[in-house]
Structure 1
Amino acid sequence: MKDKVIEAYAKLAKDYEKHVDTQSAYNAYYERPAMISLLPQDMNRLSVLDAGCAAGWYTEQFIRMGAQVTAIDLSPQMVEASKRRVGDKATVFACDLTEPLPFDDESFDLIVSSLTLHYIEDWAPVFCEFHRVMKPEGSLIFSVHHPFMDFKSFDRSDYFARELLSEVWNKKEAGPVEVTFYRRPLQEILNRTSERFIIDRIVEPQPSPEFKDEPWYERINKNPHFLIVKARK
């Protein structure tokens, strides 16, 4: 599975760097505003881990908010894209979330993971490491595919199963790319989180009404596509 993710995002890196910020409604106008609304009001000098930084959009926002940012991603190509975006204003390097993290205990005030965890089968060791490197009273904010979306879109027969799914994304730079990820029920998402953290808020985003004339608006306004969880240590 890990090799499939690395291969897919090596192909997708240019699209994320050049087009996602303005041309992907699901990212730019749906997931990102909802995630940003959950951030602390004052991030000045907070130590933040961007866990699954992709091309560095969140990394850049955290820097602008005054945070001290470390950004990691499994894909070397995404890491290079992030470095081009933020330069030396953040520490950015390739890192596998399924392995022990190369950070001291209680290093981060905030861990943010955007649309990353559904590429990982077993969350237990990941959350164990997140808990270890998080400071007391620190926060975790993450987004994943909504279980209802994947269950409905892929016409699955067993909602309660954790299963591997694949779909083809057609992108401007890369063309068709097969992307593979895990679907799991809501109870697994919440129970895995609450084993290590206290859940503060669950968000099923809806797009802002300002986009009501866009062709995608009705689809994502009435059908949940992503799920966001905010939790604390």
Structure 2
Amino acid sequence: MGYQDINADTVDGWVKAGWRWGQPIDHQTYVNAQHGQWDILLTPTRPMPHDWLFADMRGKKVLGLASGGGQQMPLLAAMGAEVTVLDYSQAQLQTERMLADHEGYAITIVRADMTQPLPFADEAFDLIIQPVANCYIEDVLPLWRECCRILKPGGRLLVGMDNGINYIVDEDREEKIIRGLPYNPLKDAKLMASIDTKEDGIQFSHTLDEQLRGQLQAGLSFKDMYEDYNGEGRLDQLRIPTFWASFAEKPAAR
């Protein structure tokens, strides 16, 4: 079993246990979005700026990349977007289907591994949105290249990312630095032996070079970004940022 399959099984278990990122929005939140009242989270606590979306989302083709769970896609559907969600977790995709059926909007659901070439044509989407998820894949640059490929000129990539700090501290108190970076169990046998893959999956830290510079190397250009916090725990209390969010754009054709 590859690490991608281990992570999909782990997420399925988290969803069944009530994982925050597997809980769909409620009906009133969907109705509010239809009337222009919405917030979208790419990271734990700080909603992304509204102007990261197009002023008019009606008819825009949107991909929710590894964003199953019924949180971002229904809001975008409520704004009139044509939504597609790609995820590798069966449970997350089941939640998407159930909510779409309940609210009566169309959604294309694709189960696929984002470490592989994305199963979409060139220039298929106006917008790609990905809440924190690339911590579950080892190499992010190929993904950025795929995102650039499937975006239309002028299309937007909105991404939440873990900046790595959560991986260096003890999990209980967040008081001590107990390991260095990168955090990569596939290349550290001692680290792999210390984790419970059923409970935690196999996660990876990524550098600024990989995550932000990598988007530039893939052919995108930055428009905006911000930092965010865990929302709980000592790092949050000390106001130590642990997440980034970025808004990048594919240059328009000349």
If the length of structure 1 is used for normalisation, what is the TM-score? Answer: 0.79
For the Cα contact (< 8 Å) 2:41–2:47, is it kept in 1? Answer: no
Name 1:230's counterpart in structure 2: 247
Name 1:101's counterpart in structure 2: 118
- What do the CA deviations read for 1:84-130 (whole angstroms, capped 9, x no partner)? 01125211121111112221110100000111111111112211211
- What do the CA deviations read for 1:35-59 (whole angstroms, capped 9, x no partner)? 3633333212111000012212101
Is the counterpart of residue 177 in structure 1 residue 199 in structure 2?
yes
| Cα distance, 1:184 vs structure 2 | 2.0
Using the alignment, how far apart are the partners of 2:54 and 2:44 within structure 1? 17
For residue 203 of structure 1, the aligned residue among 221, 226, 242 is 226
CA RMSD for the aligned pairs?
A: 3.2
Using the alignment, how far apart are the partners of 1:30 and 1:221 within structure 2? 18
For residue 35 of structure 1, the aligned residue among 35, 48, 70 is 48
Name 1:117's counterpart in structure 2: 134
Using the alignment, how far apart are the partners of 1:44 and 1:32 within structure 2? 27
If the length of structure 2 is used for normalisation, what is the TM-score? Answer: 0.73
Using the alignment, how far apart are the partners of 2:80 and 2:135 within structure 1? 29
Identity %: 23
Using the alignment, how far apart are the partners of 1:86 and 1:19 within structure 2? 14
Q: Which amino acid aligns with 2:126?
A: D
Name 2:30's counterpart in structure 1: none
Between stretches 217-226 and 79-88, larger displacement belongs to 217-226
Q: Which runs of 5+ in 1 are unaligned?
A: 170-175, 208-213
In our comparison, the structure showing a higher alpha carbon Rg is 2
Q: Which amino acid aligns with 1:58?
A: Q
Q: Secondary structure at the match of 1:6?
A: helix
Between stretches 141-150 and 102-111, larger displacement belongs to 141-150
Bigger proportion of residues as strand: 1
Using the alignment, how far apart are the partners of 2:12 and 2:64 within structure 1? 19
For the Cα contact (< 8 Å) 2:42–2:159, is it kept in 1? Answer: no
Name 1:3's counterpart in structure 2: 5
| Cα distance, 1:6 vs structure 2 | 1.3
Name 2:35's counterpart in structure 1: none
Q: Secondary structure at the match of 1:44?
A: coil
| Cα distance, 1:158 vs structure 2 | 3.6
Between stretches 139-148 and 61-70, larger displacement belongs to 139-148
Name 1:145's counterpart in structure 2: 162
Name 1:190's counterpart in structure 2: 212
| Cα distance, 1:29 vs structure 2 | 10
Name 1:60's counterpart in structure 2: 74
| Cα distance, 1:149 vs structure 2 | 3.3
- What do the CA deviations read for 1:60-105 (whole angstroms, capped 9, x no partner)? 0110111110011011121111100112521112111111222111
For residue 91 of structure 1, the aligned residue among 98, 108, 120 is 108
Using the alignment, how far apart are the partners of 1:32 and 1:91 within structure 2? 28
Check 1:48–1:94 CA distance in 2 against 1; reply closer, same or farther (3 A cut).
Answer: same
Check 1:67–1:32 CA distance in 2 against 1; reply closer, same or farther (3 A cut).
Answer: farther
| Cα distance, 1:144 vs structure 2 | 1.6
Name 2:64's counterpart in structure 1: 50
Q: Which runs of 5+ in 2 are unaligned?
A: 27-39, 172-176, 186-190
Name 1:173's counterpart in structure 2: none
| Cα distance, 1:20 vs structure 2 | 7.2
Q: Which amino acid aligns with 2:153?
A: P
